[in-house]
């Protein structure tokens, strides 16, 4: 914690407000450790019970997280917009942190935008345009997802949050991938739900670990797992279905869609009472479109659209029409297929040089290291910015996440050499 900032307050609400204000002002950074309950209680001259109540409130709202042997830290993505933006990657350093697609592999939107009709839509119109609904249903059906109808949401996380809110109450247990995407972990925390980490291998969640979770809901990535690149195959999807009681809410996050590099073997199947499958267009058509399509059972769809109608109302019809045009454009989809091939080549090239198994899908590599903070600093000194593993893992050892989307095979040897130096630095020797 920076020396210039001191947590204040004499009640649980005041202490919590002090921490929250510091996070919003940027004086407490994501991942920063807070003083222990006992130490803070002594500094504020209050009881440990008072401080513990403040921490519990902050944890319930997703502002802070607690981990074994790591104390209490500010969440990596707290539900507060900071007054000061996060530090940018320094000039001259290659950004392999953000998980973004390669802009050079995204389709050019301008020709389609120039020819796009943009009639005014009014209150009371159907929330999903027929042309978007038709192409989304066809895509879901081709992948074996039983989509009767769909709704449109503002990206994958928006859909996940709306589905979980539609069915769960604070304190309910949600099974998530461990390691997994921090965005999902922080949304679950923000909703006051209880995270239950489920171990993954290269075929996704392990069925025995999922069965042991005894959760009310499960959120999983069927392919393109972030950060490990895991993907379900037909056998694993079947085993996971058998591991789940029929009343568990299943949410599948197909955030990479057709650039994942492998087929989608859905976990959902006809007859499941509560489910949702979400396909974002961000990684293959463009993040700025802010659109995902969501299929699900009728109750889930009704609740999601009902809550949506009380807030934003609908996703922009212009965005929906643009996505529908791009999704049905043969030239655009051919470029999407080429992007999938490029991403597969790039992750394979770097994985081979790092002596790692080649992930079946995705645009990231998960690299175990001895000390992730030291590895991140070492790579930064060599001109590469990567993400520390801490935000992604609930258990497990230190690691770093490298986004491979823009790393060409020609660049991979230089990056691999830097990773080898960072992952296994030479031991310091005492001067003679």
Residue 83 lies in a domain: no
Judge whether 102 and 405 are in contact, CB under 8 Å. yes
* Model confidence pLDDT, tens digit, residues 146-158: 988 999 999 999 9
Residues 6+ apart with CB under 8 A from 253: 156, 160, 184, 219, 220, 221, 222, 278, 280
Residue 48 lies in a domain: yes
State whether 213 and 281 are in the same domain: yes
State whether 53 and 172 are in the same domain: no
Query: What pLDDT is recorded for position 69?
Result: 66
Q: How far apart are CA 345 and CA 349, in angstroms?
A: 6
Pull the structure tokens for residue 200.
């993954």
Tell me, what CATH number does 32's domain have? 1.10.10.10
- Tell which residue, 219, 282, 299, 226, has the closest CA to residue 253: 219
Could you say which of 312, 329, 346 is where a domain stops? 329
Mean pLDDT across the chain: 92
Judge whether 311 and 286 are in contact, CB under 8 Å. no
Query: What pLDDT is recorded for position 389?
Result: 95
State whether 368 and 234 are in the same domain: no
- The pLDDT tens digits along the chain (432 residues) read 444 578 999 999 999 999 988 988 888 888 888 999 999 999 999 999 999 999 989 988 889 888 766 789 888 778 887 665 556 788 999 999 989 999 999 999 999 999 999 899 999 899 999 999 999 999 999 999 998 899 999 999 999 999 999 999 999 999 999 999 999 999 999 999 999 999 999 999 999 999 999 999 999 999 999 999 999 999 999 999 999 999 999 999 999 999 999 999 999 988 899 999 999 999 999 999 999 999 999 999 999 999 999 999 999 999 999 999 999 999 999 999 999 999 999 999 999 999 999 999 999 999 999 999 999 999 999 999 999 999 999 999 999 999 999 999 999 999 999 999 998 765 544 443
Using the 8-state DSSP alphabet, how is residue 109 labeled? -
Q: Is 391 left (phi over 0), alpha (psi -120 to 50) or beta?
A: alpha
Query: What pLDDT is recorded for position 426?
Result: 57
Pull the structure tokens for residue 380.
């930064």
State whether 299 and 413 are in the same domain: no
* CA distances to 106, 115, 420 from 110, in Å: 12, 9, 42
Could you say which of 279, 310, 329 is where a domain stops? 329
Pull the structure tokens for residue 150.
């769909």
Residue 79 lies in a domain: no
State whether 216 and 130 are in the same domain: yes
Query: What pLDDT is recorded for position 68?
Result: 66
Query: What pLDDT is recorded for position 248?
Result: 96
- The whole domain housing 57 covers 12-74
State whether 116 and 148 are in the same domain: yes
Query: What pLDDT is recorded for position 2?
Result: 44
State whether 175 and 55 are in the same domain: no
Regarding beta strands 173-178 and 384-385, do their DSSP bridges make them parallel or antiparallel, or are they unpaired?
Answer: unpaired
Tell me, what CATH number does 309's domain have? 3.40.640.10
Query: What pLDDT is recorded for position 87?
Result: 60
State whether 255 and 367 are in the same domain: no
Residue 85 lies in a domain: no
Residue 4 lies in a domain: no
* Torsion, Cα of 375, 377, 381, 383 (10° steps): 70
Query: What pLDDT is recorded for position 425?
Result: 65
State whether 409 and 361 are in the same domain: yes
Residue 86 lies in a domain: no
Judge whether 109 and 286 are in contact, CB under 8 Å. yes
Could you say which of 303, 329, 355 is where a domain stops? 329
Query: What pLDDT is recorded for position 86?
Result: 58
State whether 257 and 182 are in the same domain: yes
Using the 8-state DSSP alphabet, how is residue 342 labeled? H
Judge whether 28 and 5 are in contact, CB under 8 Å. yes
State whether 51 and 173 are in the same domain: no
Helix, strand, coil % over all residues of the chain, rounded to 5: 40, 15, 45
Residue 432 lies in a domain: no
Residue 196 lies in a domain: yes
Number of domains composing the chain: 3
* Model confidence pLDDT, tens digit, residues 341-351: 999 999 999 99
* Residue 397, helix vs strand vs coil: coil
* Model confidence pLDDT, tens digit, residues 62-120: 898 887 667 898 887 788 876 655 567 889 999 999 899 999 999 999 999 999 998 99
State whether 171 and 271 are in the same domain: yes
Whole-structure pTM value: 0.88
Tell me, what CATH number does 362's domain have? 3.90.1150.10
Query: What pLDDT is recorded for position 383?
Result: 97
């Amino acid at each position: 914690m920076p020396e210039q900032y001191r947590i204040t307050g004499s009640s649980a609400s005041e202490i919590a407000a002090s921490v929250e204000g510091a996070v919003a002002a940027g004086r407490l950074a994501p991942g920063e450790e807070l003083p222990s309950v006992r130490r803070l209680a002594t500094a504020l001259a209050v009881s440990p019970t008072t401080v513990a109540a403040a921490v519990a409130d902050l944890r319930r709202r997703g502002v802070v997280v607690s981990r074994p042997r790591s104390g209490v830290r500010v969440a990596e993505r707290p539900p507060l917009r900071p007054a000061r933006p996060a530090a940018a990657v320094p000039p001259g350093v290659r950004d392999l942190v953000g998980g973004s697609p390669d802009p050079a592999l995204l389709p050019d939107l301008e020709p389609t935008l120039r020819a796009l009709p943009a009639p005014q839509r009014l209150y009371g119109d159907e929330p999903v345009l027929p042309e978007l609904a038709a192409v989304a249903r066809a895509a879901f059906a081709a992948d074996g997802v039983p989509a009767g109808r769909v709704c449109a949401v503002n990206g994958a996380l928006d859909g996940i949050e709306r589905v979980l809110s539609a069915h769960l109450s604070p304190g309910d247990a949600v099974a998530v991938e461990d390691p997994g995407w921090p965005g999902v972990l922080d949304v679950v925390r923000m909703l006051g739900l209880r995270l239950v980490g489920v171990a993954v291998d290269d075929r996704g969640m392990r069925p025995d670990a999922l069965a042991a979770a005894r959760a009310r809901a499960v959120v999983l990535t069927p392919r393109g797992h972030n950060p490990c690149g895991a993907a379900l195959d037909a056998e694993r999807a079947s085993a996971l279905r058998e591991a789940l009681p029929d009343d568990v809410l299943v949410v599948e996050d197909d955030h990479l869609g057709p650039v994942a590099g492998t087929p989608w073997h859905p976990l959902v199947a006809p007859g499941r009472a509560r489910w949702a499958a979400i396909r974002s267009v961000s990684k293959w058509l463009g993040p700025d479109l802010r659109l995902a399509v969501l299929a699900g059972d009728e109750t889930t769809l009704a609740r999601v659209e009902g809550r949506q109608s009380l807030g934003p109302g609908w996703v922009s019809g212009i965005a929906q029409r643009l996505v529908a045009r791009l999704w049905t454009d043969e030239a655009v989809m051919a470029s999407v297929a080429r992007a999938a091939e490029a991403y597969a080549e790039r992750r394979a090239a770097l994985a081979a040089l790092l002596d790692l198994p080649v992930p079946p899908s995705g645009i990231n590599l998960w690299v175990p290291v001895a000390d992730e903070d030291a590895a991140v600093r070492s790579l930064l000194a060599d001109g590469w910015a990567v993400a520390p593993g801490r935000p992604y893992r609930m258990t497990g050892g230190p690691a770093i996440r490298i986004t491979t989307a823009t790393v060409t095979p020609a660049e991979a040897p230089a990056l691999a050499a830097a990773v080898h130096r960072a992952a296994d630095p030479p031991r310091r020797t005492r001067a003679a």
